[in-house]
Structure 1
Amino acid sequence: MYWRGHVGIALLAYAPVAGAVRVAGEPELTVLGAAVAVTFATLPDLDHRLPVAHRGPTHTIAFALTAGVLVALAAAIVFPVGDGTAPATAAGTALPPWTPGFVGGIATLSLCSHVAGDAITPMGIWPLRPFRGWHVTLDLTPAANPRANRLFLGAGVAALALSVALTL
């Protein structure tokens, strides 16, 4: 998949979470989660600029989990919710104490959605590397298919909009 497809798939994965977060009464986190999902949707493709094979180490579940933990740790520094100095949102309310875990979890979800998106292409992925050499490809569409990429982007935006609209 190309960036449009990956962003769409990340939004598709995030849409049910967005609805749950809205129902939990955290609209600011709904927006933050969408931003995190979009931001991390294409991160694995930075391997094009690194001295590693494309769809190699950055296209694994281990990478997604490790990056998610690092993002959660960074979020704990940026959003120090446990020390009584929690930053206020635009509405003047404090962020919940689970904000860093939420941000790390959404980053992990978005990275896993990238791996899943590449699994539908003929090239496929090796999601369990370096632990297993299991290759996954559904061979549904080439990564460069503009229709598929636009379809996923549209579906992701629509799913997120519907999820939020149903919880207003």
Structure 2
Amino acid sequence: MYRSGHYGVALLAYAPVLYVLGSLGRVVAAGAGLALVLALTPLPDADHDVPLISHRGVTHTLLFAGVVGALVGGAAWLLTGPAGLALAPDQAVEVTVGAGGFAAFAILAHLLADALTPMGVAALWPVSSKRYSLGLTPADSTVWNVGLFALGVFATAAAVVSSTPLA
């Protein structure tokens, strides 16, 4: 999948989360989560630029999603915990878990987008090398990439509008 398709799938997958957080009045968390998801969704494709790492290898696994989530969560803790901004403990934990969760979500959205293609992903590596694929579209399909992006933008807009009180 190309970058626009990855962003589209990420937006589409995040729209329900955005709706729930917006409905609960957690607008800052919803926006911060969206920003983090969009920032990290392309990360697995950094393997194109790293020697000795094959494309759709280790960076396209559940393990990688967990590692990225843990690293981002750890960074959030360092920034907000006792040694950082020293937020109230419950707030620091909320930011830490939220940031780590949104980071892992971004990688999972990327894997989902790539699973739409015939090449698929070996999501369970190193436990299994089996590739998972829905085989719906080639990665370079302009129709699918642009279509997924448009659908993701629409879903995101619908989530924002429907979760915002009219009063």
Give the TM-score normalised by the residue count of structure 1. 0.88
Q: Which residue of 2 aligns with 1:14?
A: 14
Task: Note the aligned Cα RMSD (angstroms).
Answer: 2.0
Pick aligned residue for 1:116 from 97, 108, 112: 112
Distance 1:149 1:22, change over 3 A: same
Verify the 8 A CA contact 1:5 1:152 in the aligned structure 2: yes
Verify the 8 A CA contact 1:82 1:97 in the aligned structure 2: no
Verify the 8 A CA contact 1:2 1:143 in the aligned structure 2: yes
Amino acid at match of 1:34: L
CA drift at 1:65: 1.0
Q: Which residue of 2 aligns with 1:138?
A: 134
Partner Cα separation in structure 1 for residue 159 and residue 126 of structure 2:
36
The number of residues matched between the two structures is 161
In the alignment, structure 2 segments of 5+ residues that lack a partner are none
CA drift at 1:151: 0.9
Q: Which residue of 1 aligns with 2:31?
A: 31
Partner Cα separation in structure 2 for residue 79 and residue 142 of structure 1:
42
Q: Which residue of 2 aligns with 1:166?
A: 162
Amino acid at match of 1:68: G
Q: Which residue of 2 aligns with 1:3?
A: 3
**1:17-38 deviation per Cα after TM superposition (whole angstroms, max 9, x unaligned):** 1111112221111111110110
Partner Cα separation in structure 1 for residue 95 and residue 55 of structure 2:
32
Partner Cα separation in structure 2 for residue 83 and residue 71 of structure 1:
15
Distance 1:83 1:57, change over 3 A: closer
In the alignment, structure 1 segments of 5+ residues that lack a partner are 88-94
**1:125-164 deviation per Cα after TM superposition (whole angstroms, max 9, x unaligned):** 1110111122111111111111111111111111111111
CA drift at 1:82: 10
Verify the 8 A CA contact 2:77 2:92 in the aligned structure 1: no
Which runs of structure 2 are paired with 1:1-168 in the superposition (5 Å)? Answer: 1-51=1-51, 52-80=53-81, 85-86=86-87, 97-168=93-164
Amino acid at match of 2:46: L
Give the TM-score normalised by the residue count of structure 2. 0.89
